[in-house]
Amino acid sequence: MINNRLKIIVIFLTITSIISINSKVFAKEEDKIIINYFYITSCSTCDEIEELLEEVSDKENIEIIKKNIGVKENYNKFYEFLEKYNVPSNVKGIVPAIFTEDKY
């Protein structure tokens, strides 16, 4: 339980720092920070992260793309992201997983 809460705190802090940094970089209103979020419905940690993402999604210039890896096409897309971002093999395939333009 404590380990899951620690993961959630780390993920939340990472998301907010990425958003903070990227918000300062974007000058135009039409530019968006895109967050790709991969989850599975049977994951309680994913549910908690989704709640945090709901709060973040209310901010300007942020788009959150949610993909349930229980759906085959989303599962395939997830593995494309894992390869593209060179995710280490010891965490490859673990959800929740969040990707921004240049960070995993």
Beta strands in 21-102 (DSSP E): 33-39, 62-68, 97-99
End-to-end CA distance of the chain: 24
For residues 9 and 74, give the distance between their C-alpha atoms in angstroms, rounded to a whole number.
26
The pLDDT profile of the chain, 104 residues, written as one tens digit per residue, is 556 665 666 666 566 665 555 544 444 445 788 899 999 999 999 999 988 888 877 776 888 999 999 999 999 999 999 999 999 999 888 999 999 888 88
Q: Work out the burial of residue 37: count CB atoms within 10 Å of its CB; fewer than 13 is exposed, 13-18 middle, 19 or more buried.
A: buried
- Coil vs helix vs strand at 83: helix
Q: What is the pTM of this model?
A: 0.72
